[in-house]
Amino acid sequence: MPFLAGVSRVRLSPFWGVELAGMGYYLERTWEGIHDDLTATALVVDDGRQRAALVAVDLMYLNAEFVRGVRSLAAASTDLLPESITIGASHSHNAPNAAQVRGVGAMDPAYVSWARRQTATAVIMAWRQRQEATLRAGSHVLEGWTFNRTRENGPRDTRASVLRVDDRRGRPFAFVTNFAAHPTVHADARWREVSRDYPGEVNDALETLFPGSTALFLQGCCGDVNFLLKYRRNPEIGDEPGRALAGAVLEALAAARPVENPSVAAASMRVLLPTRRYDRQEVQAELEEGRHRLRTGDTTGWRDSLGRVMVNQPDRFPSRYGGDLGLAVRALSRFAVEWTEEILKDLDTRPETLETEVHAVRLGDVHFVSQPAELFSRFALDLRAAWPAQDLFIIGYANDGISYVPDDHDIAKRSYAAAQSPKYMGNFPFTVESGPALVRGMLASLERASP
- CA-only gyration radius of the chain, Å: 21
Q: Do 105 and 201 lie in a common domain?
A: yes
Q: Do 17 and 57 lie in a common domain?
A: yes
Q: Do 326 and 373 lie in a common domain?
A: no
- Domain membership of residue 284 as a residue range: 280-343
Q: Do 338 and 360 lie in a common domain?
A: no
Q: Are 384 and 376 in contact (CB under 8 A)?
A: no
Q: Do 292 and 249 lie in a common domain?
A: no
Q: Do 265 and 400 lie in a common domain?
A: yes
Q: Do 40 and 179 lie in a common domain?
A: yes
The pTM (predicted TM-score) of the whole model is 0.96
- Report if residue 349 sits inside a domain: no
- Report if residue 165 sits inside a domain: yes
Q: Between the CA of residue 264 and those of 134, 361, 393, what are the distances in Å?
A: 13, 7, 15
- Report if residue 36 sits inside a domain: yes
Per-residue pLDDT of the chain (451 residues; tens, 9 = 90+): 789 999 999 999 999 999 999 998 999 999 999 999 999 999 999 999 999 999 999 999 999 999 999 999 999 999 999 999 999 999 999 999 999 999 999 999 999 999 999 999 999 999 999 999 999 999 999 999 999 999 999 999 999 999 999 999 999 999 999 999 999 999 999 999 999 999 999 999 999 999 999 999 999 999 999 999 999 999 999 999 999 999 999 999 999 999 989 999 999 999 999 999 999 999 999 999 999 999 999 999 999 888 887 777 788 889 999 999 999 999 999 999 999 999 999 999 999 999 999 999 999 999 999 999 999 999 999 999 999 888 999 999 999 999 999 999 999 999 999 999 999 999 999 999 999 999 999 999 999 999 8
Separation CA 2–CA 25 (nearest Å): 50
Q: Do 21 and 68 lie in a common domain?
A: yes
Q: Between the CA of residue 178 and those of 32, 84, 418, what are the distances in Å?
A: 30, 19, 25
Q: Are 245 and 198 in contact (CB under 8 A)?
A: yes
Q: Do 376 and 235 lie in a common domain?
A: yes
- Report if residue 275 sits inside a domain: no
Q: Do 84 and 33 lie in a common domain?
A: yes
Separation CA 222–CA 397 (nearest Å): 10
Q: b/e for 169-204, b at 16 or more Cβ within 10 A?
A: eeebbbbbbbbbbbbbbbbbbbeebbbbbbbbbbbe
- Report if residue 214 sits inside a domain: yes
